[in-house]
Structure 1
Amino acid sequence: MDDQTDKKPAPQKAAVSVEASSLADQVATIKLGLKASPVRGPLAWVCVGIVAVIVATAIGQVLLNRWNQPFYDALARRDMADFLHQLLVFAMIAGGLLVLNIGQTWLNQMIRLRLREALTLDLIDQWMRPARAFRLANAGAIGVNPDQRMQQDAAHLSDLSTDLGVGLLQSFILLVSFIGVLWELSSGFVFHIGGYSLAIPGYMVWAAFLYAGIASWLSWLVGRPLIGLNSERYTREAELRSSMVRVNENVDAIALYHGEPDARRRLELDLGTLLGAMRRIFTAQINLSWVTDTYGWITVVAPILVASPVYFSGDISFGGLMMAVGAFNQVHSSLRWFINNIGSIADWRATLMRVADFRIALTETDALHDTEKRIQFGENANGSLTFDKLQVSSPEG
């Protein structure tokens, strides 16, 4: 047997490096995996179903908001007959919304399940291509702990993507539904300040955008470091688990050679780095809580403060005020989706980076293999076994 090589070695490419891939590249590679998935059909139908349910829920929310005006006006008039009638209307609207909410919860779980199945099957398929798992194991840091990326990270990415995606869609539809209501309620109102009149068409809409915009900007400014911190934490978690598995697989040798002190020091070191990463995350989360909790308390009175000029001028009734407050809360709640989910967005970004970069690395190992030295087999005329220009390279180079 004759062992030969046909290409020059490329030691500088001994490790696959994809950690610098952009968000667009990461999203594109995940889309590519989902597009080729055998469960893309059921996943698409479940997504269509939840869009329909969210739209129906938004219609129900608009009807419930309109119900506020006659209900509170009946209370202001002390009209018992109209009050009881409005309670019946509320029961019908709330019953419909209850059914829709349960349906949305079920569809949410189905999306989570199908997305997990699609992502994991794709990663397993890419990993189990001929010789890819072996090449990846020798491709550097990206090839460490592939089991965690395919099992834990893929599951976490599925859960976060479902929750954030459904929440964002619902917030957008509610925003579109209630902007018109809020604009109509605040249209035609004129501020009288120091003998001057100032008309701001739909001023309650602009107030909601300004209020939520400032909160979103501050939340992103404070919460942005969580992306890198979460990614570092997952890496440290993987290293600790890998060390524990290694110790468990070599307990006989460790006991035979009295290596428990060395093994303990290794585990304590990995645990220490993990705890350090977690402390940095907790510090960043506390800083973020100062922003989100402050705005949460201000929001208790903000809608009434914004709508009060219209009410005190006599342009709307008490029921109209409560309707305006409800519409403002819906618009503001939709706009503050980013604020409420900044921590989850940072976590999703870090998890996407790990899963997408792992999938990119699986395909990059093929390109790397084409430029590296590889063994060729041939037959000797005399039937003897010979090696020609054989070189052995360790993963460390």
Structure 2
Amino acid sequence: MADQPDNAAAVQPVAVAVEASSLHDQVMTIRRALAGSPVRRWLLWTSVGIMAVIIATSIGQVLLNRWNQPFYDALARRNMAAFLHQLLVFAAIAGGLLVLNIGQTWLNQMIRLKLREALTLDLIDQWMRPARAFRLANAGAIGVNPDQRMQQDAAHLSDLSTDLGVGLLQSCILLVSFVGVLWELSSGFVFHIGGTSLAIPGYMVWAAILYAGIASWLSWLVGRPLIRLNSDRYTREAELRSSMVRVNENVDAIALYHGEADARRRLELDLGTVLGAMRRIYTAQINLSWVTDTYGWITVVAPILVASPVYFSGDISFGGLMMAVGAFNQVHSSLRWFINNIGSIADWRATLMRVADFRIALDETDALHDTEKRIAFGQNVSGSLTFEKLEVASPEGCTRLADPHVEIRPGERVMITGDPGAGKTLFFRAIAGLWPWGSGRIGLPAGETPIFVPRVPYFPVGTLREVLDHPNGPAPADDADISAEP
């Protein structure tokens, strides 16, 4: 029996590919994964808890900002009794904030831990569905190095999502808490230009929004390339790790054939691509630093410069100036969250793209190429193995048997022959049901379970009892249970 390639066959080659999804699709994919996680309730209550802590912290920050005026006014009046009293007030406020900060840190770590658990368990569950891992491995670039996407990328996405999410929530709550305070403080600001008085309602609020808005726009303009550069770096890192694992798994063959020099060249090439990707990221980060660092230095004096005209005109006291500056810094700190985290946002966006696209590919693997012809499977009550007009689609064309009808009866021994590259491997994968694309029919013996031996033997990591019982699930409790099994 011989198999023959046919590049002109009607069955089209299988070329599985998944296009990059949009940000909305990626976010919704991760949301669905978390919604079905067994730890979703824990994540929900922890999120509610950290929100409550952040709100309490914001109230403490407002109280601390109000403390600025009587404290600095006491200093200006050289009033020792009032000064000591304000120190006691500060100790009470700072002590409460300290407890809240520690509680927030603990909740942050727990959310990060459970988010990592939920994401990784979901990806493993989707990956280990019947035949999915095999089909994904033949699905192109999306199926390369899935271990990194499930282990390293999922962990990194959990850390970034937690830190950025908590930071954004905290900034929003602080903004809501202090924008009213700053508006009230700057409502009485009057600018005297010549003989004309000009009052701008909420002057410092508008100044903070304009100042942070310009800086955010510049930061995004300069930092946006980091999304693509970070994604490329993670791909290169995965290729380097894959090469190292491959060398480690074949050290005996490399040593026997003295192939160390060739293996070293391959690893050096992969390392070169990683270093090149890192170099491009560092260049982009330096360009971004010119914007963020310049903005940071200007911020040191910006609130005082904004409020100084009113102070020098005598409309507010020194304590009032410091209170206005403190409120401006809180509002501005909330508004500049995007600027401070532009690098992390780009990294999060790249990691989300890798994890979510991988999750989407796992979901769609079973449905890919439904328009392609598929091999039909049936059972033969006669106990024979039959092939009826079998054609197996492959990237190179189509593989088919020399005879349109083949029947292998129980006890018969058959050798499959064919030219190199004719598709013998795909033929056996088709019989096993791993490669369903093609046409024709495969009839398997009814009531029988075929045994297929892979090219590379596989034994699960564990005890001998677990290996003997693979893949039937948990190992039996004792040896008697094993001997009693059929």
* TM-score bracket, shorter-length normalisation: over 0.9
Contact 2:72–2:319 (Cα < 8 Å) also in 1:
yes
Match of 1:47 in 2: 47
Is 2:111 aligned against 1:111? yes
1:383: how far off?
4.9
Match of 1:164 in 2: 164
1:192: how far off?
1.9
Is 2:84 aligned against 1:84? yes
Distance in 2 of aligned mates of 1:368 and 1:14: 10
- The CA RMSD over aligned residues, in Å, is 1.9
Contact 1:208–1:331 (Cα < 8 Å) also in 2:
yes
Deviations 1:156-214 (A, max 9, x none): 00000000000000001001111111111111322122333322111111111111111
Match of 2:35 in 1: 35
Contact 2:11–2:393 (Cα < 8 Å) also in 1:
no
Match of 1:74 in 2: 74
State TM-score, norm by structure 1: 0.94
Contact 1:236–1:270 (Cα < 8 Å) also in 2:
yes
Contact 1:18–1:361 (Cα < 8 Å) also in 2:
no
State TM-score, norm by structure 2: 0.77
Contact 2:190–2:199 (Cα < 8 Å) also in 1:
yes
- Output aligned runs, 1:231-250, within 5 Å: 231-250=231-250
Distance in 2 of aligned mates of 1:67 and 1:209: 25
Is 2:344 aligned against 1:308? no
Contact 1:231–1:354 (Cα < 8 Å) also in 2:
yes
Match of 1:3 in 2: none
Match of 1:18 in 2: 19
Distance in 1 of aligned mates of 2:92 and 2:171: 23
Amino acid at match of 1:38: P
Contact 1:10–1:371 (Cα < 8 Å) also in 2:
no
Contact 2:60–2:97 (Cα < 8 Å) also in 1:
yes
Amino acid at match of 1:147: D
Query: Which moves more between the two structures, 387-396 or 145-154?
Result: 387-396
Distance in 2 of aligned mates of 1:222 and 1:207: 23
Contact 2:204–2:306 (Cα < 8 Å) also in 1:
yes
Higher relative strand content:
2
Match of 1:259 in 2: 259
- Output aligned runs, 1:1-397, within 5 Å: 9-11=11-13, 14-19=15-20, 21-368=21-368, 370-372=370-372, 374-379=374-379, 383-392=383-392
- Bigger Cα Rg: 2
Contact 1:16–1:365 (Cα < 8 Å) also in 2:
no
Quickly say closer, same or farther: Cα 1:87–1:381, change in 2 above 3 A.
Answer: closer
Quickly say closer, same or farther: Cα 1:367–1:347, change in 2 above 3 A.
Answer: same
Contact 1:58–1:173 (Cα < 8 Å) also in 2:
yes
1:348: how far off?
0.1
Distance in 2 of aligned mates of 1:382 and 1:91: 88
Quickly say closer, same or farther: Cα 1:256–1:78, change in 2 above 3 A.
Answer: same
Distance in 1 of aligned mates of 2:361 and 2:26: 11
1:387: how far off?
3.2
Query: Which moves more between the two structures, 196-205 or 296-305?
Result: 196-205
Higher relative helix content:
1
Distance in 2 of aligned mates of 1:62 and 1:376: 71
Distance in 1 of aligned mates of 2:259 and 2:62: 68
What SS class does the counterpart of residue 273 from structure 1 fall into? helix
Distance in 2 of aligned mates of 1:304 and 1:396: 71
What SS class does the counterpart of residue 84 from structure 2 fall into? helix
Distance in 1 of aligned mates of 2:101 and 2:126: 37
Contact 1:219–1:291 (Cα < 8 Å) also in 2:
yes
Distance in 2 of aligned mates of 1:100 and 1:312: 38
Contact 1:223–1:343 (Cα < 8 Å) also in 2:
yes
Quickly say closer, same or farther: Cα 1:51–1:127, change in 2 above 3 A.
Answer: same
1:9: how far off?
4.0
Give the gaps of 5 or more residues in structure 1.
1-7
Contact 2:219–2:292 (Cα < 8 Å) also in 1:
yes
Quickly say closer, same or farther: Cα 1:68–1:268, change in 2 above 3 A.
Answer: same
Contact 2:227–2:350 (Cα < 8 Å) also in 1:
yes
Give the gaps of 5 or more residues in structure 2.
1-9, 398-486
What SS class does the counterpart of residue 153 from structure 1 fall into? helix
Contact 1:218–1:291 (Cα < 8 Å) also in 2:
yes
Deviations 1:124-156 (A, max 9, x none): 111111111111111111001111101100000
Contact 2:215–2:339 (Cα < 8 Å) also in 1:
yes
Match of 1:5 in 2: none
Quickly say closer, same or farther: Cα 1:396–1:150, change in 2 above 3 A.
Answer: farther
Amino acid at match of 2:312: F
Quickly say closer, same or farther: Cα 1:192–1:396, change in 2 above 3 A.
Answer: farther
1:370: how far off?
4.1
1:364: how far off?
1.2
Query: Which moves more between the two structures, 197-206 or 44-53?
Result: 197-206
1:386: how far off?
4.0
Deviations 1:34-56 (A, max 9, x none): 01111000000000000000000
Distance in 2 of aligned mates of 1:297 and 1:178: 23
Deviations 1:71-108 (A, max 9, x none): 00000001000100000000000000000000000000
Match of 2:410 in 1: none
Distance in 2 of aligned mates of 1:248 and 1:274: 19
What SS class does the counterpart of residue 387 from structure 1 fall into? strand
1:60: how far off?
0.1
Query: What count of residue pairs does the alignment treat as equivalent?
Result: 390
Contact 2:71–2:319 (Cα < 8 Å) also in 1:
yes
Query: Which moves more between the two structures, 372-381 or 336-345?
Result: 372-381
1:380: how far off?
5.2
Distance in 2 of aligned mates of 1:258 and 1:391: 42
Query: Which moves more between the two structures, 380-389 or 321-330?
Result: 380-389
Amino acid at match of 1:361: A
Moved over 6 A (4+): none
